[in-house]
Amino acid sequence: MVKSKYIIREVGGPKEGPKCDRHLKEVHYVAPCGVKLAEPHDVREYLRITDFNLTMDFFYLKSDVNVLAEFMPTRDLSNGKELRPVQVVNCLDHEPLPHFEYISEMNIATISESQKCCDCTDNCMTPSQCACVKMTQERLALRNVTVFTYNNRRLDDYIRGGIVECNKGCPCKKDCPTRVVQAGSMWPLQIFNTGVKGWGVRALHDMPAGSFLGTYAGELINSKEAELRTDQDGSTYMANLDYVPIQPGDKRKIYSSPKAYSDNGIFSSFQHSCNPNVVMQNVFIDTHDIRFPQLAFFTIKVVKAGSELVFDYNYDIKKNKGDPLYCSCLTPYCKEAILAASFPPCV
């Protein structure tokens, strides 16, 4: 831990760090012999007489500097809910991250269903024989084409129909090639103040393309409730899960609204970019109900340490009923104005 150079603890030097008189706003040091060093010339004379190996660089006699103050990022915003700690830093101003209750998963109360499971005996090392992989292929209507879910536990490309991972009913182990999202992410991430765009997320290490980052967690609401909350709060932080009715005959859509209310996670801080390095992939684990996918984030290119993690919100300008939301990605591919989220459907 790096301490301020003004905190003097050296043997033979002043026996205490600076003291501040709250009423007089006076700062002074106390020598080992008890002599008060309240002026710069007192300190210089003490250093000359004692021939101590310190210079005036290590002393400051004004009260406008708190020598005990130390910048420390929030060590883990998730409080252990993520496999890796989530740091929070703000190097631009003193604005704190808005308070929220951190959640890391989507709790979905659905009707009990009979999930299909694989019967692999080789820990799913032969994807073409795995029933869960075949379900992914069926959703893509590519039964005659060799399509697997992950390549060495990384996502090569966005799979429109969604990925079906092995589930708790499958005999395979935790290191099964398809159990990627449910295993959690190995990558530590950091929330930081981007300045113009507000809070964003960046990588702390170089990451290869296809790396799993985490899932988008939040509160599940239907489109009617989403419109009501948008009118009340002006919230635009809602992800359209799919276009499948919640109940038979119900044409309302389902939205995930992680930022509008108290429940939240790090991935709701991802900023938009018209030139993204992250994609959001639908994944099915505990349910095969196409209305309720897990929204998983994967890198789509090599991401260097310190780079901001961004994805394309796929906002539909034509559906915008209010003022436009102008893009701040500043890339050569910038679309300039975006609003009204419309994420790719599962089917």
| Contact in structure between 121 and 171 (CB atoms under 8 Å) | yes
Cβ neighbors of 25 (< 8 A, separation 6 or more) are 63
| Contact in structure between 120 and 126 (CB atoms under 8 Å) | yes
Report d(CA 328, CA 192) in Å as an integer.
16
Q: For residue 272, name the pLDDT band (cuts at 50, 70, 90).
A: confident
Section 282-289 average pLDDT? 88
- What are the structural domains, with CATH classification, of the chain? 1-70 (no CATH), 86-109+170-338 (2.170.270.10)
Tokens standing for 192? 């930081």
Q: Give the residue among 259, 237, 243 at the shortest CA–CA distance from 313.
A: 237
Report d(CA 241, CA 252) in Å as an integer.
11
| Contact in structure between 239 and 255 (CB atoms under 8 Å) | yes
Residue 104 has pLDDT above 70, yes or no: no
Report d(CA 282, CA 96) in Å as an integer.
32
Report yes or no on whether pTM surpasses 0.75.
Answer: no
* Residue 119 vs residue 23, higher pLDDT: 119
**Cα atoms found within 13 Å of the Cα of residue 14, Cβ hemisphere only:** 26
| Contact in structure between 293 and 284 (CB atoms under 8 Å) | yes
| pLDDT, tens digit (0-9, with 9 covering 90-100), for 189-226 | 888 888 878 888 999 889 999 999 988 876 666 667 66
Q: What is the pLDDT of residue 170?
A: 96
